Amino acid sequence: MRKLAIKHILIQPKIIRVYFVKFETIVAKLENGEKGATVEEPLKLKKSTGNDSEAKQRVKTPNFFFTSIKFQQILIKFPIQNHQMLAMSIRITSLLLVSLAVVSAFSPADHYLIDCGTTEPTVVDLDHRTFTQDGSSAVLSATKSFGLKNSNPDPSLSPIYHTARVFTKPSDYKFKIKEKGTHLVRIHFHRFGFKNIGGTCHDQFHVSANGYVLLHNFAAPKGNPIIKDFFIWVDDDELVIRFMPADRSSFAFVNAIEVISAPKDLIPDEYVSSDQNDRINIRHAYETMYRINVGGVKVTPFNDSLWRNWVPDDKFLKLSDASLKSYSKIHFDGRIQYHLGGASREVGPDNMYNSARMVSSLNDSIPKLNMTWVFPVEKRFSYLVRLHFCDIASISLGMIYFNVYLNGNLAYENVDLSTLTNYVLASPFYADFVVDPEKFSDAIRVEIGPSNLSRSHAVDGILNGLEIFKMDNSWRSLNGEVCVDQLESKNRSNGQMSRLLSLTGAVCLLAIAFLVMRRKTEVKDSFGWSRVPVDVSEIDLKSSFPKSNGVEV
């Protein structure tokens, strides 16, 4: 199996753990009173394998936030003089950071929930959230729009789908941003039978946000609601979501909008490449294409701290007669051990991590097969593939090793969940991979299988969850090779063309009216008196007039 040709990137919390491997060792030396110790440079980031002896030092390694890394980097420049005092200072700082992390829960700085087309707040009973009306909201800036209410709503649907805001001209929702960074933008669509709006005949429109094309020539299908889930890097004080009808004969609409500050560890704005140790800036726009609960049931927004849907993996899993004997589902009833620096509940909920599919050997032989999932995707885009792992199957540490393959290429070799999770069972971990569009056709193939370190009578591969995000292209578009300026100029052209056609029509009407009036004048003049030639005889003159059949008076 050849090495993966695509980029392999690791999550930001992984960097924190590696930075503190040697740092914690130095602290231990200081407490033992060793002389001449100096704080060394952080370890270079590298892939952990089952033979990585340094990784085993993470057993007692605490995980901290970025502020503790900055604290370490300051210490790098200076030799250590008072060993015991410095060690105590480091411990106090570390404990303070840990305590702050434990008591603080996710509380987004920006949190907008807008129910479009209504004039009063809407309470969603399932997840106990209140959506604000946009009828009197300061966020709506629309030239021509109106609200619609479904006269016969489906009682099984959320009340946010009972109303809609309809636009016949480009219109904006403007949100004040308190904290710059990645924001979750979730847009809800449900067409409930409205048509022929203001002379328009169909819904086809574009949606943009701060220079990114989110949707292009979008038309919501009839039937079930459609939820479009985006992550957008916002570097301004305002997030502007614009709805633009595709042409003069179409309209745009929306049922609800959510704008929420994303947790820091959800979509990092910087990654580190495993091959070159380079920092990669990936401040992109993302669209969620798949969010899969592997081996489990559907997870609804009520059971997710970011109100996401996780669907089962059954229709994406490729099965064979041989795989039926080695594949198995597993469910864990214990407590998921979230740890600092690792995956949080905002990254993935308990109900995703407590279920999994695994491949295992029931005898002395290790199965020579991989669990395989196939996901159709659109060409010409890069994709961020996130794999969620949590060892809920092993009975002891150090028993599970496996490989990860993407489109037949080795992406992660000898994954050792014990070292990656600080030697704690049922502790979640996730890894991210960017797939280059030139390396596949129209699908992403994910495989989990045994490695050369796998053991008999043990788990030889496990996967708990999977997410695939489309990344915007060089046009800053998530839908086609088109940029926002093109869409807006097209709308301006449509408006100018409409005004030009109206003006042309008015001129034509005036011209027609002028010609008609002139014709009437000419006809009237043709029945007037004219001079009779003097050389015409009386007989000829009489014959030039037609005889009248009228009644004599």
Query: In the predicted model, is pLDDT for residue 26 greater than 50?
Result: no
pLDDT higher for 253 or 136?
253
* Final residue before a domain boundary, out of 471, 499, 528: 471
pLDDT at 498: 47
Report the pLDDT averaged over residues 32-61. Answer: 37
Instruction: Please state the rounded mean pLDDT for residues 133-137.
Output: 79
89 and 128 fall within a common domain: no
Find the angle CA(501)-CA(507)-CA(512) to the nearest 5 degrees.
125
Q: What confidence tier does 157 reach under pLDDT thresholds 50, 70, 90?
A: very high
Confidence band of 196 (pLDDT split at 50, 70, 90) = low
Nearest CA-CA partner of 245 in 510, 468, 488: 488
At residue 318, the 3 state secondary structure works out as strand
Based on the domain organization, do 245 and 165 belong to the same domain?
Answer: yes
What is the pLDDT at residue 397? 93
Most confident among 84-88, 138-142, 399-403 (mean pLDDT): 399-403
Domain coverage including residue 451: 285-471
- Residue 142 belongs to a domain with what CATH number? 2.60.120.430
Domain stops at, among 103, 128, 161: 103
pTM of the model: 0.73
Structural contact between residues 313 and 292, judged by C-beta atoms closer than 8 angstroms: yes
One domain, residues 54 and 194: no
Determine, yes or no, domain membership for 38.
yes
CA–CA separation, 206 and 485 (whole Å)? 12
In the predicted model, is pLDDT for residue 75 greater than 70?
no
Span 504-522, average pLDDT: 59
Structural domains counted in the chain: 3
Predicted pLDDT at 500: 45
Whether residue 97 lies inside any domain: the answer is yes
Same domain flag for 148 and 226: yes
Arithmetic mean of pLDDT over the chain: 75
Instruction: Return the beta strands (E) in 71-162 as ranges.
Output: 111-115, 122-124, 129-133, 140-142, 145-149
Nearest 5°: phi and psi at 139? -80, -20
pLDDT digits (tens, 9 = 90+) for 171-193: 999 999 999 999 999 999 999 97
77 and 118, same domain (yes or no): no
pLDDT at 187: 99
Domain-embedded: residue 239: yes
Same domain, 307 and 243: no
Q: Is residue 544 domain-resident?
A: no
131 and 92 in one domain? Answer: no
Ranking 79-93, 272-286, 317-331, 459-473 by mean pLDDT, the lowest is 79-93
Domain assignment present for residue 267? The answer is: no
The pLDDT of residue 15:
31
DSSP-derived secondary structure letter, 464: -
Per-residue pLDDT tens digits for 312-338: 999 999 987 667 667 899 999 999 999
How many CB atoms within 10 Å of residue 482?
A: 17
Q: Please report the pLDDT score of residue 203 as a whole number.
A: 86
Residue 169 belongs to a domain = yes
Query: Both 68 and 93 in a single domain?
Result: yes
Residue 177 falls inside a structural domain:
yes
Looking at the fold, whether 348 and 448 belong to one and the same domain comes out as yes
Do 181 and 35 have their domain in common?
Answer: no
- Residues 6 or more apart from 408 whose CB is under 8 A from it? 1, 445, 447
Residue-level pLDDT at 144: 86
Tell me which H or E stretch contains 468. strand 465-471
In a domain, 509, yes or no: no
Q: Which of 103, 132, 162 is the last residue of a domain?
A: 103
| Same domain flag for 347 and 402 | yes
Rounded mean pLDDT of 506-515? 60
Answer yes or no: is pLDDT of 358 > 60. Answer: yes
Residue 454 has pLDDT above 50, yes or no: yes
Interatomic CA distance for residues 251 and 186, integer angstroms: 20
Q: Is the pLDDT of residue 246 over 70?
A: yes
Are 309 and 458 within one domain? yes
Give whichever of 99-103, 270-274, 430-434 has the largest mean pLDDT. Answer: 430-434
